[in-house]
Structure 1
Amino acid sequence: MNSNTLSVTQALKQRTSIRAYQSKPVPEALVREVLDAARWSPSGGNLQPWKVIVVSGAAQQAVISKAKNYPGMFPNEDADKPVYPANLWEPYRSRRFKVGEDMYELLGVPRENKVGRLTQLARNFEFFGAPVGMFFVIDTRMGHGQWAHLGMFMQSLALAATERGLSTCFQEFWGTLRTTLKTHFALGENELIYSGMALGYADESAKVNTLRTERASVDEFTTFHFD
């Protein structure tokens, strides 16, 4: 852990989606430490409705190969639970569009360079070069509350990683390979991979890692009823 421990607020502001990593390995003991901190996340009824699969080394490469060997440009195995709703409305459509444009501008990939943009998108399936990949599993019989609790667990994990000098990237994109991964990991009948996550040490020299997305102000998303 860093000698100067971050406050929760500092960790929240420092955490960002990192899309380029050093090859420096992350020891299993450190991954366990991060998971040990995250397990204290809250969940209704203390159900703790999450399972985690961690891959590194040969196990990680086996998963990467599944994506690379997929017949077609990109998998499409998330039709029942897509990452984004169809026909996204405002202001969400504009927010999604802007973060994409800002990222590709940093990378020097113009809109007309379709191959370049698809190549960058495909790096999701390489965990952006991170030495550790994680997958978060939930039972499909769970309700929307438990999905929210899984998200809180993932956020807790990301903040615990930030505290220890590690970086992460939430990767719902792995949901497009759900059926293949379900078979690969021999998941139970009712188990589903919700999301992946890259974990490692950020490549500070990579321009893409300078991206800082904007946030709406408190007054844009809050209504106050104070007496």
Structure 2
Amino acid sequence: MNSDQIQLVDEAIVSRHSVRAFLDTQVSPEIIQDILRVASRAPSGTNTQPWKVYVVSGKKRDEMVDRVCKAQLEVNANPELAQQYKETFAYYPETWISPFIDRRRENGWGLYGLLNIQRGEKEKMAAQQLRNFKLFDAPVGLYFTVNKAMGIGSKMDIAMMIQNVMIAAKARGLDTCPQAAWNHFHPIVLDVLNASADEELVCTVALGYADPDALVNSFITPREPVENFAVFLDQ
């Protein structure tokens, strides 16, 4: 791989970020199929390739969005209903510690600050949260599942595959937003997908063309310098 090729790969990785406002421009099935073909080269333990991907667009996408948004609005009105919608695995820890909670808070209030949502403005917060379940207006939702019989390693495998999807999409001028928020509504999602009973929802990815004029898309999260997380040992 020469320097120009390295630069192109690096640019696709570094320029990727979570986009929260999309144009209604449709994405051709051929491009998505090509992205998935490339992404399937992700490594997996003993080549199990445990991923399954549902590409949802058109009327089926609208049905998915409508049903999940309705459920979220019902939960907002009656928080006790949240007990009906619990994720099948814990994405976040029960107890947060530093520095992770600090980064989480910085991320949340950085986004809300950009959108002029102040502490205590619950209605604005709820409206922004609902945007997740509208796929931020993206025309395509990608729903990633694994078989429940598989172990935690399969979630690592599919995570690498999802990263490949996002980088391959970026290389083709598309943008994405990976979302764990949908996992709570897995009963609805899997029903709309007509997925089998042995499948588990792992992640949802909004896919489309970013709206270049949307203020929210200017939000870029910081990253820690290498020296803060890497340890080099040579003896």
TM range (shorter): over 0.9
Give unpaired runs (5+ residues) of structure 1: none
The equivalent residue for 1:176 is 184
Structure 1 residue 189: deviation in Å? 2.3
Pick the aligned partner of 2:128 from 117, 120, 132: 120
Report the aligned-residue RMSD: 1.6
Secondary structure at the residue paired with 1:7?
helix
Structure 1 residues 226 and 143: alpha-carbon distance in aligned structure 2, compared to 1, 3 A threshold: same
**TM-score (normalised: structure 1):** 0.93
Per-residue CA distance 1:47-82 (angstroms, 9 max, x = gap)? 101000011110100101111221322755234413
The equivalent residue for 1:89 is 97
Q: Report 1:158-177 matches (<5 A).
A: 158-177=166-185
Per-residue CA distance 1:89-136 (angstroms, 9 max, x = gap)? 111111111111111111111112111111101111000000111100
**TM-score (normalised: structure 2):** 0.90
Deviates more, 1:150-159 or 1:110-119: 110-119
Q: Following the alignment from structure 1 to structure 2, what is the Cα–Cα distance between the partners of residues 46 and 111?
A: 47
Q: Report 1:41-80 matches (<5 A).
A: 41-70=42-71, 71-73=74-76, 75=82, 77-80=85-88
Q: Following the alignment from structure 2 to structure 1, what is the Cα–Cα distance between the partners of residues 86 and 157?
A: 21
Give the letter for the 1:111 counterpart: R
Q: Following the alignment from structure 2 to structure 1, what is the Cα–Cα distance between the partners of residues 26 and 140?
A: 8
Q: Report 1:4-153 matches (<5 A).
A: 7-70=8-71, 71-73=74-76, 75=82, 77-153=85-161
Pick the aligned partner of 1:157 from 155, 158, 165: 165
Per-residue CA distance 1:139-177 (angstroms, 9 max, x = gap)? 111111111010000000000000000000001111010
User: How many percent of aligned residue pairs carry the same amino acid?
Assistant: 32
Give unpaired runs (5+ residues) of structure 2: none
Q: Following the alignment from structure 1 to structure 2, what is the Cα–Cα distance between the partners of residues 46 and 79?
A: 27
Secondary structure at the residue paired with 1:52?
strand
Structure 1 residue 46: deviation in Å? 0.8
Structure 1 residues 161 and 217: alpha-carbon distance in aligned structure 2, compared to 1, 3 A threshold: same
- The number of equivalent residue pairs is 224
The equivalent residue for 1:188 is 196
Give the letter for the 1:167 counterpart: D
The answer to whether the 8 A contact 1:137-1:191 is kept is: yes
The answer to whether the 8 A contact 1:22-1:130 is kept is: yes
Q: Following the alignment from structure 1 to structure 2, what is the Cα–Cα distance between the partners of residues 79 and 147?
A: 14
The answer to whether the 8 A contact 1:34-1:160 is kept is: yes
Q: Following the alignment from structure 2 to structure 1, what is the Cα–Cα distance between the partners of residues 202 and 187?
A: 11
Give the letter for the 1:218 counterpart: V
Q: Following the alignment from structure 2 to structure 1, what is the Cα–Cα distance between the partners of residues 102 and 177?
A: 21
